[in-house]
Amino acid sequence: MYRVETIRRLREARRLAVLTGAGVSAESGVPTFRSPEGLWSRFRPEELARVEAFLRNPDLVWAWYAHRRQIIRQVQPNAAHRILAALEDRYPDFTLITQNVDNLHRRAGSRNLIELHGNLERNYCIACARPWQEEDDEPQAVPRCPDCGGLVRPDVVWFGEPLPQEAWSRAEAAARRAEVFLVVGTSAVVYPAAWLPEIALESGAYVVEINPEETPLSGRVHDAIRERATVALEALWSMLES
Cis preceding-peptide flag for 216 (omega within 30 of 0): no
Q: Is 155 in the site for ligand APR (CB under 6 A)?
A: no
**Choice between 99 and 119, CB closer to ligand APR:** 99
Q: Which residue is closest to ligand APR by CB?
A: 23
Shortest distance in whole angstroms from residue 115 CB to ligand APR: 10
Does residue number 27 form part of the binding site for ligand APR (CB under 6 A)?
A: yes
User: 73: closest CA among 115, 101, 100, 102?
Assistant: 102
User: By CB under 6 A, which span of 69-77, 174-182, 196-204, 206-214 interacts with ligand APR?
Assistant: 206-214
Are the C-beta atoms of residues 124 and 132 closer than 8 Å to each other?
yes
Residue 31 CB neighbours (<10 A): 16
- Which residue of 23, 58, 118, 154 would you call a contact of ligand APR, by CB under 6 A? 23
Of 146 and 160, CB closest to ligand APR: 160
CA separation for the pair 24, 42 (Å, rounded): 20
Question: Is 213 an interacting residue with respect to ligand APR (CB under 6 A)?
Answer: yes
Terminal CA-to-CA distance of the chain, rounded, Å? 16
Considering the complex, what minimum distance in angstroms separates the CB of residue 215 from ligand APR? 5
Burial 181-215 (b: 16+ CB within 10 A, else e): bbbbbbbbeeeebbebbebbbeeebbbbbbbeeeb
Instruction: Give catalytic status of residue 117 as yes or no.
Output: yes
Which residues of the shown chain bind ligand APR in the complex (CB under 6 A)? 21-23, 26-27, 32-35, 38, 99, 117, 185-187, 190, 210-213, 215, 228-229
List the catalytic residues.
117
